[in-house]
Amino acid sequence: MKLFDIAHSRTGDKGNISNISVIVYDQKDYDLVRDHLTAERVKDHFKGIVHGDVVRYEAPSLGALNFVMQDALGGGVTRSLALDAHGKCLASALLAMEIPGET
């Protein structure tokens, strides 16, 4: 299944840092997302875009994971030549990631 089937996101950016939170619609899906959406997998998903570290923060009571991605915005929103490889665009790409569904 696609991540967007069970979660939504919120985003932000500051300088050359992108911040994406993934929030499950239903708390029962939190463990599934937590187990499959690792910092390493997110960094690999954004290979060629995110050149720095990716750190994951967990907020289980909110059913959320927050990813802080360093060196992710082509030098920063005001310096980047990308049309919109920022916040919402990156979140949409992350939510399109395949994760295993419950069997």
DSSP characters for 54-67? EEEEEEGGGTEEEE
Residue 75 φ/ψ region, left for φ over 0, alpha for ψ in the -120 to 50 degree band, beta for the rest? left
Q: Please report whether residue 52 resides in a domain.
A: yes
| Alpha-carbon 68 to chain mean position | 8
Q: Please report whether residue 100 resides in a domain.
A: no
In the chain, the number of structural domains is 1
CATH number at residue 26: 3.30.1360
Measuring CA to CA, how many Å separate 5 from each of 25, 95, 100? 9, 8, 12
* Predicted local distance difference test score (pLDDT) of residue 32: 96
**Rounded Cα gap, residues 36 and 70, in angstroms:** 21
Enter the pTM of the model: 0.84
Q: Please report whether residue 27 resides in a domain.
A: yes
- Domain that residue 21 falls in: 3-95
Q: Please report whether residue 59 resides in a domain.
A: yes
Q: Please report whether residue 79 resides in a domain.
A: yes
Could you tell me the mean pLDDT of each successive run of 10 residues in the chain, 103 residues long? Answer: 94 85 97 96 92 96 96 66 59 86 59
